[in-house]
């Protein structure tokens, strides 16, 4: 399964580690940058990852910045993207099962690497629930 991943400078080191983790777990990580801890603008990377997911090149996207907030705001501007800012395995699970999120955003500053890996693992393995949750998701976009 192909996963698009991106970060700004604040998320750079965590992105590199999450990339290794994805590969170890058998996922194909496509890295949309940034490529160094030098200061950069999070919207540039959020748009690239959101586009890769929206056009079907990647099944899911992962976006990391200082808080995860900027990434989620930008990614949700792209049609077809449901980006969820998650801070725990529990919220990652619900983002998938109830909201059918296709982009995971999280903070590099307020999570440990271990917590981030748990969130990623849960997000990528939790299925979407049908029924009332599908009905609600269908109402998000006309």
Nearer to ligand RB5, 83 or 100 (CB): 83
Show the CA angle centred on residue 89, arms to residues 83 and 95, nearest 5°. Answer: 30
Residue partners of 51: CB distance under 8 A and separation at least 6: 78
Least Å from the CB of residue 11 to ligand RB5: 7
Active site residue 9: no
Q: Is 105 a catalytic residue?
A: no
Question: Which residues here bind ligand RB5, judged by CB under 6 A?
Answer: 8, 10, 42, 65-67, 69-70
Helix axes 12-24, 113-125, angle to 10 degrees: 50
* CB closer to ligand RB5 out of 20 and 69: 69
Q: Which residues participate in catalysis according to the annotation?
A: 65, 98
């Amino acid at each position: 399964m192909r996963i698009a991943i991106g970060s700004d400078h604040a998320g750079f080191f965590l992105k590199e580690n999450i990339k290794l983790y994805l590969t170890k777990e058998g996922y194909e990580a496509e890295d949309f940058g940034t490529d160094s801890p030098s200061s950069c603008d999070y919207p540039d990377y959020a748009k690239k990852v959101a586009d890769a997911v929206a056009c079907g090149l990647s099944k899911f996207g992962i976006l990391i910045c200082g808080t995860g907030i900027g990434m989620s705001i930008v990614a949700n501007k792209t049609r077809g993207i449901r980006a969820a800012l998650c801070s725990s395995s529990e919220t990652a699970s619900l983002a998938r099962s109830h909201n059918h999120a296709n982009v995971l955003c999280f903070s590099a500053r307020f999570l440990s690497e271990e917590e981030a890996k748990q969130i990623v693992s849960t997000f990528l393995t939790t299925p979407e629930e049908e029924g009332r949750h599908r009905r609600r998701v269908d109402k998000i976009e006309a």
